[in-house]
Chains A and B, each alone.
Chain A
Amino acid sequence: MKLFSKKTKKALIIGIDGVPHSLLSTYIKNGIMPNLKKILSQGFALHQMNASIPDISSVSWTSFATGVNPGEHGIYGFTDLRPQSYSLYFPNSKDRKAPTFWELLGKTADTTSSLSQQYLSKINRSYRSIVLNMPHTYPAYPMNGILVSGFVAIDLKKATYPDSAFTYLSRMGYLIDVAAEKAKEDKAAFMKSLFECFEVRKKAISHFFTQEPWDLFFACITETDRLHHFFFDASTDKENPYYQSFLRFYAELDNWIQTLYNDFVHLSDGKGLFVILSDHGFAPIKKEVYINQFLKEKGLLFLRDEGDFYERIENKTTAFNLDPCRIYIHDKMAYPNGRIRREEKAEVLTKIKEALKALKEDGNPVIDRIYQKEEIYHGSQTERAPDLVCLPNEGYDLKGSLEKNRIFSDSPFKGMHTWHDACCVLPDHIAISKKPSVENLTDYILQYYS
């Protein structure tokens, strides 16, 4: 019996966390990624792509997984406040309000979205997906196939569906993520650990790729993002002690993509859908910018000494910030001690926007764009969205910390996320009319199966 019929549709999607379009183009040009260059010459195009807003992995990958904007899927960051409270929590899969593409393909979705409405009747059977190391899907819910959650996932067992996949992963020494907290102590050891983590991830990916039946295969590499956070200064600087290691990582990535791609072409008889994407770009950091300290200095935020995180907010507070730059108005209707009335809100927003626009470091404006929630978010979860979201000028890493007493400081990190410079590789025949966003790609994938 043949395991795979030639008529079945197959898709391979590779996620490369935090890989910027600009760097990837450079490495392709410079011969550091010859295999990817070759793949691109066989009917694919590399595009620059916009990440989600804010441009962090939890939001961007959720936008890709669901194909809708945060106003629909409801994930705005790694942290959020519970409704009508100051209590910080860590939203994750259970808080996602829109179905993912593997739930739609597997016909296991129990929620709907604007995208799922379009495909409910078009997808005519249940497709089996293998989704490995997808960020922000913890805990892993039952689905048709295999799901292994990526960052932030704490307990591998809860991060894995079904149990048989957990048994395999725990035996082979799978790592959800490198221990980023170790990077400060020993950078060389941390660099080594990135390669080790990549090795074990490749091994797990290869196992599921070859040993399991599937219609759609997704695998994400997180190590690129970690590499960039701690070593982005080494990406193009020949003098940097980690330059060679940085290039070697990309060379290994290139080899791995090539191997997986070749196996896929073989498996799908050259007729499958092949996609690569990243969830945001990266750029060097000049300064970290603590927006809450900025709000404090403007007399808009007051914090008590007692309490956990946002429980410290005093009644007279006007606005506060959650990481990276999600500004919430201390609305009378939305918070227990809120003081801003609905009719005052427009004026307060204008005032904060003006102040943010005027924020400068060493003469350079810090903020590039400021959006009000209604401008960028659409859907049932928009009400919970931050009132203002900012994108910084390159080099200014906006932060949500409540504990800083200066607005600017040097960063312990070497790279920061960028919104405009994520990337994707798509087949040539997919016509791109304008610059794609991360949530657009899902539509192409579902189209392929409909």
Chain B
Amino acid sequence: MDHLTRLENKSIYIIREAYYQFKDIAMLWSVGKDSTTMLWLCRKAFFGHIPFPIIHIDTSYKFPEMYRFRDERVKEWNLDLLIGRNEEKLNEGMGPTQGSKLDCCNELKTNALKLVIKKYHLKAILLGIRRDEHGIRAKERYFSPRDSQFKWDYENQPAELWDQYQSMVEEEEHFRIHPILHFTELDVWSYVKREGLPIVPLYFSKNGKRFRSIGCAPCCSPIDSNAQTIDEIVEEIRTTKTSERSGRAQDKENIYTMQKLRALGYM
């Protein structure tokens, strides 16, 4: 079995087991390359039709290309899309320049997700995070549920499987499942190529710049790049020395730093 097929099998196994364990499950789709890959894997896992809803947390600050891509895929793949928006805060004018960026992320992402989870009584969420991503995601781990009844955390790495996505969810009443944790950035692009997956055009170079990681438009910056095709992106990633999230890393680090300081009362 080749490398990508092995990765694919592992992910599909996790997705199916997750669905088997939790019927009140949903998948979080940011419309970026990773969660789009996960979405594709979910389709494969259930032979084309995903039996659970897909959540898009809409901060209202996403790139227009992302909304367009989302709506096209929903139609094409017949997705059960739930949109999570913190309408109350949006009506109050919350945005990255209105309050602090930390508050903006907290309200429009964390709390928007909480609202969706509550509204639809979800018990588990599939997340497209990867172990090789910026360390604030992959290494800042909370505690694995020691007395977990789940037997399918194979490879004996529960702490890794249940790796927390701290900025996203504070409530512990549901599980987070990470089916593509074992993919690297390079794997994702190689897989996108192999599968002929559609991808938001922001990832491809325009006027010498492209986005390596996408999120809210005001908080993302493109990198210098001439990669206009997936092959060129793969080649670029193979040789690059800078981190994937360099366009977002500092902001993200600051947000996490603030959270850490706040938790101890230093801010």
A180 interface residue per 8 A CB criterion: yes
Residues of B within 8 A of A412 (CB): 265
Produce 1/0 per residue, B122-143, CB < 8 A to A. 0000000000001110011111
- Is residue B43 within 8 Å, beta carbon to beta carbon, of the partner chain? no
Q: Which residues on the B side are within 8 Å of A308 (C-beta)?
A: 99-101
A162-198 vs B, CB cutoff 8 Å, 1 = contact: the mask equals 0000000010010111011111011001001100100
CB of B264 closer than 8 Å to a CB of A: yes
Question: Assuming A179-B166, A180-B263, A229-B264, is B140 touching A196 (CB within 8 A)?
Answer: no
Q: What is the minimal beta-carbon distance from B247 to any residue of chain A, in angstroms?
A: 15
Cβ contact of B265, chosen from A189, A192, A413, cutoff 8 A: A413
Q: A155-B134, A155-B253, A308-B100 are in contact. Are A180 and B260 (CB under 8 A)?
A: yes
Tally of A interface residues using CB under 8 Å: 43
Closest chain A CB from B79 CB (angstroms) = 33
B contact residues vs A (CB 8 Å cutoff): 98-101, 134-136, 139-143, 159-160, 164, 166, 170-172, 253-254, 256-257, 259-267
Question: Nearest chain B CB to A181's CB is how many angstroms away?
Answer: 4
Closest B residue to A397 by beta carbon equals B265
Select B142's contact among A155, A156, A182, beta carbons within 8 Å. A182
- Assuming A152-B257, A401-B267, A411-B265, is B139 touching A181 (CB within 8 A)? no
- A170 in contact with B172 (CB, 8 Å): no
In residues 411-430 of chain A, which contact B (Cβ within 8 Å)?
411-413
A151 CB within 8 Å of chain B: yes
B257 to chain A, nearest CB (A): 5
| Residue of A whose beta carbon sits closest to that of B131 | A170
Q: Which of B159, B171, B260 sits near A151, CB closer than 8 Å? A: B260
Q: Is the CB of A154 within 8 A of B136?
A: yes
What 1/0 mask marks residues of chain A from 227 to 243 whose CB sits below 8 Å from any chain B CB? Answer: 00100000000000000
- The CA of A251 and the CA of B61, in the complex, are separated in Å by 52
- B143/A193 in contact, CB under 8 A: yes
Q: Is the CB of B267 within 8 A of A152?
A: no
In the assembled complex, A302 has its CB within 8 A of some CB on chain B: no
Q: Which residues of A contact B263 (CB under 8 A)?
A: 179-181, 183
Q: How far is the CA of A412 from the CA of B99 in the complex (A)?
A: 24
Decide: B259 and A181 in contact? CB cutoff 8 A.
yes
How far is B257's CA from A36's CA once the two chains are assembled, in angstroms? Answer: 35
Cβ contact within 8 Å between B135 and A309: no
Indicate which residue in B139, B170, B172, B264 contacts A156 across the interface (CB closer than 8 Å).
Answer: B139
If over half of B's interface residues share one DSSP class (helix, strand or loop), that class is named, otherwise mixed; here it is loop
- Which single residue of chain A is at the shortest CB-CB distance from B139? A156
Offer 21 A-B interface pairs, CB within 8 angstroms, sorted by A. Answer: A78-B267, A79-B266, A90-B257, A154-B135, A154-B253, A154-B256, A156-B135, A175-B141, A177-B260, A180-B263, A181-B170, A181-B259, A185-B170, A185-B171, A189-B172, A193-B143, A229-B264, A399-B265, A400-B267, A401-B267, A411-B265
Docked complex Cα distance between A192 and B145 (Å): 12
Check if A155 sits within 8 Å of B166, measured CB to CB. Answer: no
Partner among A90, A155, A170 whose Cβ is within 8 Å of the Cβ of B136: A155
Q: How far is the CB of A231 from chain B (nearest CB, A)?
A: 13
**CA of A309 to CA of B102, assembled, Å:** 11
| Residues of B close to A179: CB separation below 8 A | 140, 142, 164, 166, 263
| Those of A141-161 within 8 Å (CB) of chain B | 151-152, 154-158
Task: Please report which residues of chain A, range 39-95, place their CB below 8 angstroms from some CB of chain B when the two chains form the complex.
Answer: 56, 78-79, 89-90
Q: CA separation between A181 and B265, bound complex, in Å?
A: 10
CB-defined contacts of B98 to chain A, threshold 8 Å: 306
Bound Cα distance from A79 to B171, whole angstroms: 28
**Complexed CA–CA distance, A173 and B263 (Å):** 22
Q: Are B159 and A173 in contact (CB under 8 A)?
A: yes
Enumerate the 9 nearest inter-chain pairs by beta-carbon distance, A residue then B residue, closest first: A155-B135, A180-B263, A181-B263, A156-B139, A308-B100, A154-B136, A90-B257, A157-B135, A154-B253
- When C-beta atoms are compared, the residue in chain A nearest to B134 turns out to be A155
Does A215 count as interface, using CB distance less than 8 angstroms?
no
Contacts of B267 in A (CB 8 A): 78-79, 323, 400-401
A71 to B49, CA, bound (A): 64
Q: Which of A269-315 contact B (CB under 8 A)?
A: 288, 306, 308-309
- Kindly state the separation between the CA atoms of A400 and B211 in the bound complex, as whole angstroms: 37
With A and B bound together, what is the CA distance between A175 and B140 in angstroms? 7
A151 to B139, CA, bound (A): 14
A151-B260, A154-B256, A155-B253 known; 9 other A-B pairs, CB under 8 Å? A152-B260, A155-B135, A156-B135, A156-B140, A157-B139, A179-B140, A181-B259, A181-B260, A183-B263
CB <8 Å contact, B264 and A180 = yes
Q: Which residue of A lies closest to B252 (CB)?
A: A154
